[in-house]
């Protein structure tokens, strides 16, 4: 099980990400993405699903047509870990 990040580690990792928002009450980071249509949104989700499965770390997420909301936290560790930041980074890179 990964260790939870210190505030300093978290802030440093967040600063290296693109538009992710820290939710203190949920101990998570989140991001809402909008696409042209469902096909583009689900294509994005499919690429994340493959990366998440490879990393054995999975998002909590929802989708409505062209909108994808992603929440990352490490349920087993009870907060944010390096795994969340690594998955967020992968998601950012999928969008480049």
Buried b (16+ CB within 10 A) or exposed e, 16-41: eeeebeeeeeebbbbbebebeeeeeb
Please, what is the minimum distance in Å from the beta carbon of residue 68 to a copy of itself?
A: 10
76 touches a copy of itself by CB under 8 A: no
- The stretch among 3-11, 28-36, 55-63, 87-95 that binds a copy of itself (CB under 8 A) is 55-63
11 touches a copy of itself by CB under 8 A: no
18 touches a copy of itself by CB under 8 A: no
Identify the H or E element spanning 66: none
61 touches a copy of itself by CB under 8 A: yes
């Amino acid at each position: 099980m990964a260790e939870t990040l210190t505030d300093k580690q978290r802030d440093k990792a967040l600063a290296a990400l693109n538009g992710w928002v820290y939710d203190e009450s949920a101990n998570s980071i989140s991001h809402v993405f909008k696409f042209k249509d469902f096909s583009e949104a689900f294509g994005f989700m499919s690429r994340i699903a493959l990366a998440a499965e490879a990393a054995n770390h999975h998002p909590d997420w929802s989708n409505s047509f062209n909108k994808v909301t992603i929440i990352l936290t490490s349920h087993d560790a009870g907060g944010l870990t390096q795994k969340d930041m690594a998955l967020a980074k992968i998601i950012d890179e999928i969008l480049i």
